[in-house]
Structure 1
């Protein structure tokens, strides 16, 4: 059984494989959903000396325990939930709650309030139904700022929202007039 630190490290390695460079590891992802057989991923993982002793149960626990819930296991297949670099993952459009949240850092705020939220090298802007995931993302780069996105106004402006699972929604660019800073983000 892996400890929490090892699970985080394994999760990062799995992210590299499933989201960024699957072909580098000989993994061919299903073009429809971005998945591969869990057994294929396990073969790649155990070929790395650091992970030679892990089991399928370790991978399943890592997926289940991941705070950011970046992966989904469905039957015998595994996929990254969002953010693939190699191919645009398609999700069906959905109707999100009236407000979604985005975490960022203070230095980015003036540009966001002027130009809106943009994917910035990703395929989509990542938004969440609750403040927890938004806070996790925003804290990574400095002083946390939480933003609320008015999804009704955004949809009226032409933004389409896609549900990626686990309270995460994806969208293209979100106009600045649909975004408001939340007060007391750290509380």
Structure 2
């Protein structure tokens, strides 16, 4: 059991490192992300990881496992290329505008709620506001910052107010901004 726990901890550490590399500091690791979609060659990511002593023996299989098992579906691996689907803080990649479901969810914390009620949802340290199609995914995102508050986004009203939605994949939707008047607290 201890070995399984260590493997899970190792995958989590690898996931966090990949997140930093693909979302927040690609240049710091010598990665060049495609300006169109934010992807790089998976072999380039592997080589960049291996340049760090802690990941010197990491394998492509380990990367594939992280991509497959990441609860938040942060990564996409396709045709030998890998990318972070969302959450970038250093470079804005183009997403295709799309029509979302009638309701999306955003997880946040109770401390942020008064400001959100006044100013709406802003990207803050990221380049987009993140929302999800299902409550559990939004809860997962919001729970890590303190007491969870789940917000429903009325996407039809938001679109009427000028919000453009972008599908990032696997239930994740993005927007530049979501006004307060289209947000509702999701009750028990």
TM-score range, shorter chain: over 0.9
Give the TM-score normalised by the residue count of structure 1.
0.95
Q: Which runs of 5+ in 2 are unaligned?
A: none
Corresponding position of 2:97: 93
Aligned to 2:36: 32
Residue from 141, 145, 151 that aligns with 1:147: 151
Match of 2:80 among 67, 76, 83: 76
The answer to whether the 8 Å contact 1:72/1:81 transfers is yes
* Residue among 168, 180, 183 paired with 1:179: 183
Unpaired runs of at least 5, structure 1: none
Structure 2 Cα separation of the partners of residues 138 and 121 of structure 1: 15
Match of 1:3, SS state, is helix
Distance 1:110 1:21 in 2: 31
Shift of 1:110: 1.2
Q: Distance in 1 between matches of 2:142 and 2:87?
A: 16
SS at match of 1:12: helix
Question: Superposed, which structure 2 residues align to 1:1-187 within 5 Å?
Answer: 3-184=7-188
Distance of 1:114 and 1:23 partners within structure 2 = 36
After superposition, the C-alpha distances for 1:55-110 in whole angstroms (9 at most, x for unaligned) are 10110011100001111001100011012222111110000000000000011111
Distance 2:75 2:93 in 1: 13
C-alpha distance in 2, partners of 1:110/1:34?
A: 34
Three-state SS of the structure 1 residue aligned to 2:106 is: strand
CA distance in 1, matches of 2:102, 2:140: 21
Whole-Å Cα distance in 1 between the matches of residues 71 and 124 of structure 2?
23
How far off is 1:151 after superposition?
A: 0.1
Aligned partners of 2:43, 2:84: CA distance in 1, in Å? 15
What is the CA-CA distance between 1:121 and the residue it aligns to?
2.2
Q: Matched residues in 1 for 2:175 and 2:138: separation?
A: 15
Q: Is the 8 A contact 1:82 1:89 kept in 2?
A: no
The count of corresponding residues between Structure 1 and Structure 2 is: 184
Give me the whole-angstrom Cα distance separating, in 2, the residues matched to 1:6 and 1:158. Answer: 43
